[in-house]
């Protein structure tokens, strides 16, 4: 069924677990997330990023309706989240499309402007029962950005600034920079667990780990144990998808029907989803 992100995250916090959120690009991604969640017997969040909406020609309703329909038809508890929203227009378009949460990403703005824009987004969301996530600090490697060295001082989230930011904006969850970076295709990121514990002790809302595709299993586990709740995974699904397509086409160069290679691609993504859910 389609449930709300707020209830999945609150339940995870209450039970000391994590809840994984997976990025949807194609219909097969959504189907694979549902299948992986059913296999693992765990809930999951389907998230659609602003970049994915742009990829689909800006047709938010089409992508959201497809993902919401997959969630409603599943036996797993799944919610729909709009991810990395920079555009205020896209934020407003989320209302009524099945989204129970939005990550409003003003992390590129200077601190004061980030606070103001995010507080506005929170006010808008809470009037409509929409849960709002924001980011403080810089998780590097976003689309169109030069890769950022995750270990550069200053890109990490400062715990006391994070607490002040949450108080000033009223956000429901906070994405923090603790050593992960977006779009990693190898799982080699080392997380700052001392910082995670400090943030957990200082910040009164659930913490979100972005760029989890590059984080090894043991580090994901440890991050959940030390207090990260929402674990965002995107690239790992694409690695599985593309690897399966490549293998199939190498072995079957005469193939034409996309279903022939999308079946193994979807199966591979479902396995990746189930693997991450097993760490929660
Ligand atoms: O918001 C989405 C996530 O941070 C995904 O990052 O593609 O590096 O796993 P990833
Ligand atoms: Zn992210």
- Ion ligand 2, residue ranges at CB < 5 A: 210
Task: Please report which ligand is nearest the Cα atom of 150.
Answer: 1
Q: Which residues are catalytic?
A: 83
| pLDDT digits 0-9 by tens, 74-117 | 999 999 999 999 999 999 999 999 999 999 999 889 999 999 99
> Distance from the CA of 260 to the center of ligand 2, in angstroms?
31
ipTM over 0.90: yes
CATH of the domain at 72: 3.20.20.70
Residue of the CA atom closest to atom 6 of ligand 1: 211
d(CA 193, CA 215) in angstroms, rounded, equals 13
Q: Give me the sign of the Cα torsion angle 103, 109, 115, 119.
A: negative
Q: What residue numbers does the annotated binding site cover?
A: 84, 105, 135, 182, 210
Domain that holds residue 122: 5-277
**pTM for the full predicted model:** 0.96
Number of domains in the chain: 1
Tens-digit pLDDT profile for residues 239-277 = 999 999 999 999 999 999 999 999 999 999 999 999 999
Distance from the alpha carbon of residue 255 to the mean position of ligand 1, in angstroms: 31
Angle of the 258-277 helix axis to the 235-251 helix axis, nearest 10: 140
Q: What's the rounded Cα separation, in Å, for the pair 46 and 54? A: 17
Distance 210 CA to ligand 2 centre (A): 4
């Amino acid at each position: 069924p389609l449930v709300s992100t707020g209830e999945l995250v609150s339940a995870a916090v209450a039970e000391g677990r994590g809840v994984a959120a997976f990025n949807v690009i194609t219909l097969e991604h959504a189907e694979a997330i549902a299948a992986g969640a059913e296999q693992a017997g765990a809930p999951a969040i389907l998230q659609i990023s602003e970049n994915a909406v742009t990829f689909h020609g800006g047709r938010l309703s089409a992508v959201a309706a497809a993902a919401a329909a997959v969630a409603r038809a599943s036996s797993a508890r799944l919610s729909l989240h709009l991810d990395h929203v920079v555009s205020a227009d896209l934020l407003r378009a989320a209302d009524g499309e099945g989204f129970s949460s939005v990550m409003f990403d003003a992390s590129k703005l200077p601190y004061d402007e980030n606070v103001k824009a995010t507080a506005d987004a929170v006010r808008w969301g809470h009037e409509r029962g929409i849960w709002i996530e924001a980011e403080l600090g810089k998780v590097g490697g976003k689309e169109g950005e030069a890769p950022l060295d995750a270990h550069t001082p200053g890109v990490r989230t400062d715990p006391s600034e994070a607490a002040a930011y949450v108080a000033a904006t009223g956000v429901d969850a906070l994405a923090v920079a603790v050593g992960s970076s977006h779009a990693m295709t190898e799982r080699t990121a080392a997380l700052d667990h001392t910082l995670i514990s400090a943030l957990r002790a200082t910040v009164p809302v659930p913490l979100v780990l972005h760029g989890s595709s590059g984080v090894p299993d043991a580090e994901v586990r440890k991050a959940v144990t030390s207090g990260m709740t929402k674990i965002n995974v995107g690239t790992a699904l694409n690695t599985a998808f593309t690897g399966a397509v490549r293998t199939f086409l190498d072995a079957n160069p005469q193939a034409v029907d996309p279903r022939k290679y999308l079946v193994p691609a979807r199966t591979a993504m479902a396995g990746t989803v189930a693997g991450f859910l097993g760490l929660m």
